[in-house]
Structure 1
Amino acid sequence: MGLSGNSQHVKVAKNAPVFSNSVYVGSDKIYNDHPLQEGEFYTPILQGAYPDPAITRKGEDYYMVHSSFAIFPGVPIFHSKDLVNWTQIGHVLDRTSQLKVHDTGISAGVYAPAIKYNANNDTFYMITTQFAGGFGNMVVKTKDPLKGWSDPHKLKFDGIDPSLFFDDNGKAYVVHNDAPDKGQELYQGHRVIKIWDYDLEKDQVVAGTDKIIVNGGVDLSKKPIWIEAPHIYKKNGRYYLMCAEGGTGGWHSEVIFVSDNPRGPYTPAPNNPILSQRYLSPNRANKVDWAGHADLVEGPDGKYYGVFLGIRPNEMGRVNIGRETFILPVDWSGEFPVFTNGLVPMEPKLKMPAGVKNKTGQEGFFPNGNFTFTDNFTSDKLDYRWVGLRGPREAFVATTKKGLQINPLPVNIKEVKPTSTLFHRQQHNSFTYTITLDFKPASEKELAGITLLQSEKFNYVYGLTRKDKDLYLVLERTEKGVSRIIASTKIEVKKPIQLRVKADGDNYQFSYATNGTDFVKVGETVSGDILSTNVAGGFTGAMIGLYATSANDAHPQKLIQ
């Protein structure tokens, strides 16, 4: 979708800021210390906040989706032929008729999508829970993921994390996480897995067919918490139910059950969990943690693989880049699948599947490791990595010969409304991000620049604004919704300026250049604490945003030393 014609129905401010020469450079030590050798690739395969991966296969084509919460468009979808090289082909929920997150906090919206291909009717299904817009559990479908998805069918059941299963005989089922029956809850975090028959003609669960197939988890006597993210697989005539257990934090894991019938009864494997990092030394090097929320698929080499979420905390143990998508081979030579090396400290590199060449970062394939993402905004179609928050990018963005113009909405980054901010995910613990800004604010109500955002209540704003006749760069820190200016500096702006943020783990430093080369620091180094889920809570990772507003409240002031 081209963006150049948007200004026709949006009244663009005369002095709307123009952003150009966007350069993001990742520089994590782990990748410098572990360069790829021939026949290797990196995991995570998708760095940054791409949590809750789900995967499906049709012939030689693999499709993978992820949670997106209140990001717009929602549910990023990736395609691969080999499970190593991935291309983002768009978003499943890219229309306001499918995604109504305009009035919700960043960690509401779309949770845990599951994608399944039904060979019986040659149709792809994406089922998810949308905590917004009156949707709840919903499903969309398509014959071709490259050609867009239907409007949602609302589903008549409660709970979260729904997943479809299509049996060889044409029957369909939904499994999902739910609360125990009323009065049956035994402890905090006690959940159940339910199954329903699913009517493919009506795209609805069949009333009265719901049945609890897992109560609590593998062993109810041990009070397992948050059994969720269920998927059913069929192998050698038997039905395998795989779930996450332990909650998406330090106790996260993946467990598996088996049955001779899709509706159970299900028996847990004797060797659960089949994936977890929870039993390991907290002080291990290059720590990957929280592994779980997995999905299995047969690879092009006939072997099984599992995608799952994990985190790579910074040196302070904080999670700024969010929950990322990892992959491991799965050994399913015995009765139950087991993630290869899924219970020992995870390594950053894996061996390539036989016959596959690593093309990540080339030919349009998603980059990983330490990479540079440069965008001059000269294409009429935005890179899919750029996303909005709560509302469509097309409402405020236009491409011009000089770069990307953002028409400022009268909305502040702290408001729970669609903002005029174009984001991409922070994908490294250490990175440098530089943008060129052409902007002359007309009043103190106007600001344009960079925001680093964990949520509407936890963020940094670094931008250019006006006070009386002078222009200032201000740096504002918002924690628990309370904002304070931590630095401001008066600057002369005769031509476009460069703004930069450099992160080295927990240390973030802001600077600017008026001559293209000499960067001047604004304020002291600040902590990235508020950009972590440890401090901010929620389910998202930090995002870097190009931000413009005509409702600015970050005003320069004399700082008390």
Structure 2
Amino acid sequence: MDTTRRQALTLALASAAFPAASASAAPRPTGVEGQRRADLGDGRFLNPVLAGDRPDPNVLKDGRDYYATFSSFQYYPGVPIWHSRDLVNWTPVTAALKTNIGNVWALDIAKHNGRYFIYIPVLVDGDRPLRTYVIHADSMKGPWSEPIDMRIDNMIDPGHAVGEDGKRYLFFNGGNRVRISDDGLSATGKIEHVYGGWPIPQDWIIEGFALEGPKVLRKDGWFYLFSGQGGTAGPPTSHMVVVARSRSIDGPWENCPHNPIVRTARRDEPWWSRGHATAIEGPDGKWWLVYHGYENGFRTLGRQMLLEPIEWTADGWPRALGGDLSRPMPKPRGGSGGAHGLALSGFSPDMFGTKLAFQAPRGNDYLDRVKLAGGVLTLKGQGSGPADASPLVFVAGDRSYEVTVEAEIEGDTAAGLVLFYNEKLFCGLGLGPERLHAYRIGQEERWPPGAPIDARRLHLKLVNDENVVTFFHSRDGRQWTKERSFEVAGYNHNVADGFLSLRPGIYAAGSGSARFANLTYRARGPSA
């Protein structure tokens, strides 16, 4: 990716440093949190349109507005909602799900009779391991209702549809479907199998058949069913987008003669495992596909949101026009660009979910761990280390970046800066009452050697240079001491499972608390 597109940016999460440390600390720039910007400013864009971990994107067109949301898995507040007017420039709106109901997988946004709905599949422990919930609101900005258990079990990837008779349905993975109530809040029918998918050639290298992600579009007298197949990760050539259509919501479904309409065909392409698509009409009436994919060589960033133009053939089938997405393309016309990301000048409560999220929080009182005052975030300790501390993390969308933070611990606490995939796979550098704590591959290292030091208050920094990360510490934020460097390309789903991404963040463990200020994020060029 051309480094000129890597906009230097700052997560200026604290407007004031700790009083005793600020006098000698280097000044912190302010800026926009937005990761790589897709809009090239000349009427063209270059994918990704939303960089970083944006898995299973689902887009709703609502008049002139577009809303997107993504699988939020173990991150809470969950179900982030973003807004756009042109499908290229996106701004976060809110996090719709505050109540911790489990591991949130691919979901669906719908608008029906003036009301908004989000259908949420959740992986939980117990005798009903997969459940379907729904939340609803009068506005995409919320407030959103508490989650309602629809009593639809063992299904994932709901896709809302309305039949020719006005009745409402949810389509699910495996070509299944369930009739739901007119108010959209409960099931009224049984699970029924309605579609068998597209026959994948036996010699294709894929993760599995994996018929999932159904999205139903009604257009020109047809119901079009867009689905993902091949597996969402695994080999680069696994995922794909297939289409079927029917004159009736009840089928029969006819497969598109040029399926798959999107697929990574070779491992040297810039985007891998492309799939899970929503077809959406652009502001000028032309049509687009929004889907996700891994960046070649950077699975650590997660599945990023991609945009590709499509056309409708004379016989009524969609055909994708973007190729391997390696080149800039004309932007959708007729929409307004607007901001990308969110300008920040200090901590605010609405950052939780739009920017910061807890990784695998315990229970529903997780927000009580945080106190915001005077530009400083105080985080109450939990667990014994990063693994069970439910760190506060954020999405990184650049191949290379730098993160810095000031940290101070109070009481029996360890706290610091981490790159976190899950509780078994992370690295980081933390403060302790008598020494530094270093972590690699999810374990604390018996290191650094030497005499104990006063490590209750330090500046911390990590530099991720294309999956090689180096940690530093400093007394004043000017003179930095380098600690350790790690190669982290393997900190990804194909190694650790879970469909997550490697995210920078902060943690506090133990019975005390930690104070953080001046958390900054800056994109870097390779080997800068």
Q: 1:23 to 1:324 in 2, by over 3 A?
A: farther
Matched, 1:499 2:453: no
Matched with 2:500 is 540
**TM-score, structure 1 normalization:** 0.77
Using the TM superposition, give the Cα deviation of residue 466 of structure 1 relative to its aligned residue in structure 2, in angstroms.
2.4
Matched with 2:15 is none
Taking the aligned partners of 1:214 and 1:461, their CA distance within structure 2 comes to: 47
Decide which of 106, 110, 133 is 1:112's aligned counterpart: 106
Q: What SS class does the counterpart of residue 54 from structure 2 fall into?
A: coil
Matched, 1:426 2:426: no
Matched, 1:198 2:202: no
Report 1:256-267 matches (<5 A). Answer: 256-267=243-254
Matched, 1:399 2:372: yes
Q: What SS class does the counterpart of residue 494 from structure 2 fall into?
A: helix
Q: 1:131 to 1:390 in 2, by over 3 A?
A: same
Matched with 2:144 is 149
- The share of aligned pairs that are identical, in percent, is 24
Matched with 1:16 is none
Matched, 1:39 2:43: yes
Taking the aligned partners of 1:84 and 1:202, their CA distance within structure 2 comes to: 31
Decide which of 156, 160, 164 is 1:164's aligned counterpart: 160
Decide which of 157, 161, 172 is 1:176's aligned counterpart: 172
Matched, 1:340 2:321: yes
Q: Which amino acid aligns with 2:488?
A: G
Report 1:247-258 matches (<5 A). Answer: 247-249=231-233, 250=236, 251-258=238-245
Using the TM superposition, give the Cα deviation of residue 84 of structure 1 relative to its aligned residue in structure 2, in angstroms.
1.9
Taking the aligned partners of 1:100 and 1:22, their CA distance within structure 2 comes to: 38
**TM-score, structure 2 normalization:** 0.81
Decide which of 412, 420, 435 is 2:385's aligned counterpart: 412
Maintained 8 Å contact 2:409/2:415: no
Q: 1:229 to 1:420 in 2, by over 3 A?
A: closer
Using the TM superposition, give the Cα deviation of residue 474 of structure 1 relative to its aligned residue in structure 2, in angstroms.
2.4
Segments of structure 1 that go 5 or more residues without pairing to the other structure are 1-18, 102-108, 178-191, 368-372, 553-561
Q: What SS class does the counterpart of residue 534 from structure 1 fall into?
A: helix
Decide which of 429, 432, 439 is 1:476's aligned counterpart: 439
Q: 1:295 to 1:70 in 2, by over 3 A?
A: same
Matched, 1:86 2:90: yes
Taking the aligned partners of 2:224 and 2:34, their CA distance within structure 1 comes to: 41
Matched, 1:461 2:442: no
Taking the aligned partners of 2:486 and 2:33, their CA distance within structure 1 comes to: 19
Matched with 1:283 is 268
Maintained 8 Å contact 1:396/1:420: no
Q: What SS class does the counterpart of residue 205 from structure 1 fall into?
A: coil
Q: 1:534 to 1:197 in 2, by over 3 A?
A: closer
Using the TM superposition, give the Cα deviation of residue 222 of structure 1 relative to its aligned residue in structure 2, in angstroms.
4.6
Q: 1:320 to 1:283 in 2, by over 3 A?
A: same
Q: Which amino acid aligns with 1:151?
A: E
Maintained 8 Å contact 2:395/2:503: yes
Q: What SS class does the counterpart of residue 395 from structure 1 fall into?
A: helix
Taking the aligned partners of 2:210 and 2:458, their CA distance within structure 1 comes to: 49
Q: Which amino acid aligns with 1:211?
A: E
Taking the aligned partners of 2:45 and 2:137, their CA distance within structure 1 comes to: 31
Using the TM superposition, give the Cα deviation of residue 441 of structure 1 relative to its aligned residue in structure 2, in angstroms.
5.2
Decide which of 90, 101, 115 is 1:123's aligned counterpart: 115
Matched with 1:330 is 310
Maintained 8 Å contact 2:385/2:414: no
Q: 1:320 to 1:551 in 2, by over 3 A?
A: farther
Q: What SS class does the counterpart of residue 263 from structure 2 fall into?
A: coil
Report 1:129-140 matches (<5 A). Answer: 129-132=121-124, 136-140=131-135
Matched with 1:303 is 286
Q: Which amino acid aligns with 2:43?
A: G
Taking the aligned partners of 1:25 and 1:510, their CA distance within structure 2 comes to: 24
Please give the root-mean-square deviation of Cα atoms over the aligned residues, in Å.
3.0
Segments of structure 2 that go 5 or more residues without pairing to the other structure are 1-24, 513-528
Q: Which amino acid aligns with 1:478?
A: I
Matched with 2:473 is 512
Matched with 2:9 is none
Q: 1:356 to 1:400 in 2, by over 3 A?
A: same
Q: What SS class does the counterpart of residue 232 from structure 1 fall into?
A: strand
Q: Number of aligned pairs?
A: 471
Matched with 1:189 is none
Using the TM superposition, give the Cα deviation of residue 462 of structure 1 relative to its aligned residue in structure 2, in angstroms.
0.8
Maintained 8 Å contact 1:318/1:534: no
Maintained 8 Å contact 2:86/2:334: no
Maintained 8 Å contact 1:128/1:137: yes
Q: 1:301 to 1:431 in 2, by over 3 A?
A: same
Matched, 1:436 2:406: yes
Maintained 8 Å contact 1:24/1:431: no
Taking the aligned partners of 1:206 and 1:421, their CA distance within structure 2 comes to: 40
Matched, 1:389 2:355: no
Q: 1:494 to 1:488 in 2, by over 3 A?
A: closer
Matched with 2:329 is 350
- Comparing 383-392 and 246-255, the one that deviates more: 383-392
Taking the aligned partners of 1:380 and 1:197, their CA distance within structure 2 comes to: 38
Using the TM superposition, give the Cα deviation of residue 389 of structure 1 relative to its aligned residue in structure 2, in angstroms.
2.0
Q: What SS class does the counterpart of residue 535 from structure 1 fall into?
A: helix
Using the TM superposition, give the Cα deviation of residue 349 of structure 1 relative to its aligned residue in structure 2, in angstroms.
3.2
Maintained 8 Å contact 1:47/1:324: yes
Q: Which amino acid aligns with 1:153?
A: I
Q: Which amino acid aligns with 1:504?
A: D
Matched, 1:51 2:55: yes
Matched with 2:10 is none
Maintained 8 Å contact 1:124/1:145: yes
Q: 1:90 to 1:110 in 2, by over 3 A?
A: same
Using the TM superposition, give the Cα deviation of residue 132 of structure 1 relative to its aligned residue in structure 2, in angstroms.
2.1
Maintained 8 Å contact 1:310/1:325: yes
Q: Which amino acid aligns with 1:87?
A: T
Taking the aligned partners of 2:201 and 2:349, their CA distance within structure 1 comes to: 58
Q: What SS class does the counterpart of residue 377 from structure 1 fall into?
A: coil
Taking the aligned partners of 2:239 and 2:447, their CA distance within structure 1 comes to: 37
Taking the aligned partners of 2:455 and 2:417, their CA distance within structure 1 comes to: 20
Q: 1:405 to 1:497 in 2, by over 3 A?
A: same
Taking the aligned partners of 2:145 and 2:324, their CA distance within structure 1 comes to: 41
Q: What SS class does the counterpart of residue 49 from structure 1 fall into?
A: coil
Taking the aligned partners of 1:486 and 1:353, their CA distance within structure 2 comes to: 53
Using the TM superposition, give the Cα deviation of residue 487 of structure 1 relative to its aligned residue in structure 2, in angstroms.
3.6
Using the TM superposition, give the Cα deviation of residue 26 of structure 1 relative to its aligned residue in structure 2, in angstroms.
9.9
Using the TM superposition, give the Cα deviation of residue 327 of structure 1 relative to its aligned residue in structure 2, in angstroms.
1.1
Using the TM superposition, give the Cα deviation of residue 240 of structure 1 relative to its aligned residue in structure 2, in angstroms.
0.8
Taking the aligned partners of 2:29 and 2:385, their CA distance within structure 1 comes to: 23
Using the TM superposition, give the Cα deviation of residue 319 of structure 1 relative to its aligned residue in structure 2, in angstroms.
1.2
Taking the aligned partners of 1:25 and 1:499, their CA distance within structure 2 comes to: 21
Q: What SS class does the counterpart of residue 414 from structure 1 fall into?
A: helix
Taking the aligned partners of 1:159 and 1:494, their CA distance within structure 2 comes to: 49
Q: What SS class does the counterpart of residue 321 from structure 1 fall into?
A: strand
Q: Which amino acid aligns with 2:192?
A: K
Matched with 1:377 is 346
Q: Which amino acid aligns with 1:337?
A: P
